[in-house]
Structure 1
Amino acid sequence: MDMINFEALFKISYGLYLVCSGDKNKGNGFVSNTVFQVTANPPQFAACCNKDNYTAEVIKKHGAFSVSVMDKNASAEMFGTFGYRSGKDFDKMANMDIKYGETGVPIVMNDCVSYMELRVVQTVDVGTHLMFIGELISAEIIDDTKEPLTYLYYREVKKGVAPKNAPTYVDKSKLIAKPAQLELKSYKCLACGYIYDEAVESIRFKDLPDDWICPVCGSEKSDFIEI
C-alpha cells in the first residue's frame, strides 16, 4: 500500500455549518464541515454526526434537523459554543437568535448566511459516525451580503482545527514532517489551552496580525504565552 499523505485530505473543499435539532424546550447543535446534497428531486441533503455527539441523540429523537450556513466572519464565540462544548450540560441556544421551523427544530440565525430545514428519511451507520439524510422542507437566505465560510479559510486564516470527533479530523502525528526550520516555537492560549504550533502552521506566531484571535475561545493574541 502506498504511503498516505494526509495533507492531501486538506485539499478537499468543505463549508462550515451549524447542524441543530430539538425543540423549544431543549435544543442542541454542533459545527459541521460534512453537509452535502445527495439528490435534486426530491432535494435531499446529508449531514454526518459522531455517535458520541449529543446532537446525534437529539436528531434521532426528533427526526428532523436544521443546517445554517456559517458566515465567513463568524465570531470565535460561535465556534466555542457549538464546536468545543457539550450540550448535555450546557444550553447552546441561550443568547442565540433562534427561529423554529415547521418541524419545531431550532434554526440558528446568528453569523449565518442561509438555512435549511430537513426531515430525516434515512440514517446510515458509517462506523464512528451516523449519516442523517434529510428531505428539504424549507430554506431561506438570512443575509445575502455575507459570504459563506469555507473550511480552508477556517484553517488557513482563522487557524482553526477540527475536533477529534469530526469526520475530517487528522491526527497531527500522521502528517508528514516538514523540513526542519530554525527556532520554531509553540504558543499556548492562557484562556482555553489551545496550542499554536509553528511546526504545523504556515505562519510564524509573531507574523500573525495583531487582531488575530484564538480560533477556539476568541482570546486575543496577547493572551498567548510561549511554551
Structure 2
Amino acid sequence: MDLKVMNKISYGLFILTARDGTKDNGCVINTAMQVTANPNRIAIAVNKSNYTHDMILKTGEFNISILDESAKFGTFKNFGFKSGRDSDKMVEIKYNRSENGITYLTDECNAYVSAKVCSTVDLGSHTLFIADVTDGQILSSNPSATYAFYHSNIKPAASSAPKKGFICTICGYIYEGDTLPDDFICPICKHPASDFKPL
C-alpha cells in the first residue's frame, strides 16, 4: 500500500490549547471536525505522547484555534517541534482567553472553538475526544489552511543540497542525521521511526 494516499484526504490544521491550573499549553493537530449539529459536538484526535493530551484528559476542556492561510512556519515549529512539558509555548504568541479560561490564538487563525469533553475513544496511539461546543468566535475571513496548503505554501522548500537523514513517508518531515533513534516520533504527524526511510 502507498501510504501517501492518506495525504489526499483533506485535513485542516489547528492549534489545540488546554489549561491545567496556571499552566497553558498547546500543540498542532490535523483532526478536528463537527460530528453532530444537535447537540453541537466536535471530535478531535490527539496523540497520547503530547502533553496537551494529558491536560485534556485531566481537565476535560480545550480550545481549537483554526489556522488560516496567513499562518507562518514559526507557529508550526513552536507548537509542533517541542514539548510543553519543558517549555512555555505561549511566550511571544498573541492570544486571548475564552470564557473557559483557556487560550486561543488571535493571529494566523480565522476562528476558535471552545469545547467540553463528553466521551473518549482509545485509538491506540491517539485518543479521540468527543466534546460539546461551549463557545466560539470568527476572527477573520481568511481561508482555513489545509494540510495541502501547508506543504505547498508554508513549509520551507527542501534544500537542493544532498542531505544525510531520514524522511517521514507519511508527511514528508525530514530528520537530519546519520542515525534515526528507534523511539523517534515525527513532530508533525506523530508517526514512529518505522514510517521513515533514508534520504
TM-score category of the 2 structures, normalised to the smaller one: 0.7 to 0.9
Match of 2:97 in 1: 100
| Residues 73 and 155, structure 2, Cα contact 8 Å, conserved in 1 | no
Q: CA deviation at 1:24?
A: 7.2
1:173 aligns with 2:197: yes
Residue 153 in 1 paired to residue 149 in 2?
Answer: yes
Equivalent residue for 1:33, pick from 30, 35, 47: 30
Native 8 Å contact 1:24 1:104 kept in 2: no
Aligned match for 2:136, one of 139, 148, 164: 139
1:82-140 Cα shifts (integer Å, max 9, x gaps) = 01110011111122222222222221222111000001111111101111111001111
Structure with the larger strand share = 2
Question: Deviations 1:41-91 (Å, cap 9, x if unpaired)?
Answer: 111111111111100111112210001110212112111110111001111
The equivalent residue for 2:186 is: 164
Task: Report the Cα distance in structure 1 between the residues aligned to 2:81 and 2:153, rounded to whole angstroms.
Answer: 19
Which blocks of at least 5 consecutive residues in structure 1 are unaligned?
175-196, 198-227
* Contact 1:45 1:136 (C-alpha < 8 Å) held by counterparts: yes
**Shift of residue 23 of structure 1?**
5.3
The Cα RMSD (Å) is: 2.2
* Other structure's SS at 2:197 match: helix
2:70 to 73, 78, 86: 73
1:135 to 1:167, Cα distance in 2 relative to 1, 3 A:
farther
Structure 2's unaligned 5+ residue stretches are 157-170, 174-184
Deviation at 1:40? Answer: 1.0
Runs of 4+ in 1 over 4 A off after TM superposition: 160-163, 165-170
SS in 2 for 1:173: strand
Identity %: 35
Give per-residue Cα distances to partners, 1:166-224, cap 9 Å, x unaligned. Answer: 667482439xxxxxxxxxxxxxxxxxxxxxx6xxxxxxxxxxxxxxxxxxxxxxxxxxx
CA distance 1:24–1:143, change in 2 (3 Å): farther
Letter in 1 for 2:197: S
Q: Distance in 2 between matches of 1:67 and 1:137?
A: 12
Q: Which has the larger radius of gyration?
A: 1
Indicate yes or no: 2:80 matched with 1:83: yes
Aligned pair count reads 171
Counterpart CA distance in 2 for 1:167 and 1:86 is 14
Residues in 1 aligned to 2:73 and 2:189: alpha-carbon distance in whole angstroms: 21
